Amino acid sequence: MSQENNIGVAVVFSGPSGVGKSTVCRHLTSLLPGFHFSVSCTTRAPRPGEVDGREYYFLSREEFLTRQAAGEFLEYAEVHGNYYGTLRQELEPRVLAGEDVVLDIDVQGARLTRQALAGKPDLAAALLLVFLAPPSMAELERRLRGRKTETEDAIQRRLANAAREMTAWREYDYVIVNDEALVAAEKLAAIVRAAHCRCALMRKEPWNNA
């Protein structure tokens, strides 16, 4: 089955802060190499060590708004006075060329992405909404406290936000409980491998019809 006959998979991967998304993504990369991890745009200033095009594309407010007005964003949001968004360019041409893409975005971003792709059947079929959940709220709190980098206020804010995001789980196609990061990554890999067999992502029959 050659890649050009198939549309890729666009995984929207959400989950509350502290649930372990980046560890799961790291394992996913070793289980299924070749994924493109979408890079978001932001208007916030780079922090020490952050590289433009790696952590984020760092845009001025003016450039962000110009590109937003031109319809270049798949989804975007304003958070604490800064803009964050995903360029269509990060996802659409890649997926249509058969590449698999992961987007690490929140529940609201997932909703906006689904809406943005609703009118494009190929891309809508490629979209898999996957929610990574903690085994329990108590365990999420333990993981957040384990970071030892956050104030009590920040922890409480993250927990409240997590509780709110978790009520949206039924809007997702899949939920993975992150008991153990490698097991969770294997489930995510199975979701992607299964999607590669979906007829909806095949432009023609997958056998040799010559």
- 8, 10, 172, 185: residue in contact with a copy of itself (rule CB under 8 A): 172
Of 41-49, 81-89, 106-114, 193-201: span binding a copy of itself (CB under 8 A): 193-201
The contact mask relative to a copy of itself for 122-161 (x = CB under 8 A, - = no) is --------x--xxxxx------------------------
Task: Compute the distance between CA of residue 104 and CA of residue 80 in angstroms, rounded to an integer.
Answer: 19
Kindly state whether residue 1 participates in binding a copy of itself, applying the rule CB under 8 A: yes
| Residue 77 DSSP SS3 | strand
Burial class (CB in 10 A: 0-12, 13-18, 19+), 8: buried
Measured from the CB of residue 179, what is the shortest distance to a copy of itself in angstroms? 9
Task: Compute the distance between CA of residue 38 and CA of residue 54 in angstroms, rounded to an integer.
Answer: 9
Instruction: Give bridge partners of residue 131 from the DSSP assignment.
Output: 14, 175
What does the radius of gyration of the chain's CA atoms come to, in whole angstroms?
18
Of 89-97, 102-110, 153-161, 171-179: span binding a copy of itself (CB under 8 A): 171-179
175 in Cβ contact with 169 (< 8 Å): yes
Closest residue by Cα to residue 39 from 86, 84, 79: 86
Task: Compute the distance between CA of residue 164 and CA of residue 166 in angstroms, rounded to an integer.
Answer: 5
Measured from the CB of residue 162, what is the shortest distance to a copy of itself in angstroms? 11
The contact mask relative to a copy of itself for 86-125 (x = CB under 8 A, - = no) is ----------------------------------------
Nearer to a copy of itself, 65 or 168 (CB): 168
Kindly state whether residue 190 participates in binding a copy of itself, applying the rule CB under 8 A: yes
Tell me which DSSP letter residue 125 carries: H
Of 20-28, 75-83, 110-118, 165-173: span binding a copy of itself (CB under 8 A): 165-173
Kindly state whether residue 210 participates in binding a copy of itself, applying the rule CB under 8 A: yes
